[in-house]
Amino acid sequence: MGPMMLDNLIDEVRQRTAISPKLGYRVRLDLDGAGVIAIDGTAMPPSVSTGGEDDADATLKMSAESLSKLLDGSLDPTLAFMTGKLKVSGSMAAALKIAQMLEE
């Protein structure tokens, strides 16, 4: 995955967070070595950046390809979790909220 794909994913996540209700959590999307997208949903509007601190309420670990499929609707978050394509650590409530946001 090139930096361009990461930039595209960040842009898409930024667009989703801008139009969704307040998230209320800090979440890290760990893209299996391809980068990290940090979402601070405690701010309005939410901030989306690369990298990110380890003080997130939840970390969602998946491949960049899986995130792309979640965003375009071709992968269901529940199915991704059940099949191991999406791993969650930390707050399950935060993870569920971010999964709903990614689905919309």
What pLDDT band is residue 3 in, cutting at 50, 70 and 90?
Answer: low
Vertex 50, ends 45 and 52: CA angle to 5°? 85
Task: Decide: 33 and 49 in contact? Cβ < 8 Å.
Answer: no
pLDDT, residue 52, reads 64
pLDDT, residue 103, reads 76
Q: What pLDDT, in 10s, does the model give residues 33-67?
A: 889 999 999 988 889 998 766 789 999 999 999 99
Vertex 77, ends 62 and 61: CA angle to 5°? 20
pTM, two decimal places: 0.89
Architecture of domain 3-103: 2-Layer Sandwich (3.30)
What are the domain boundaries of the chain?
3-103
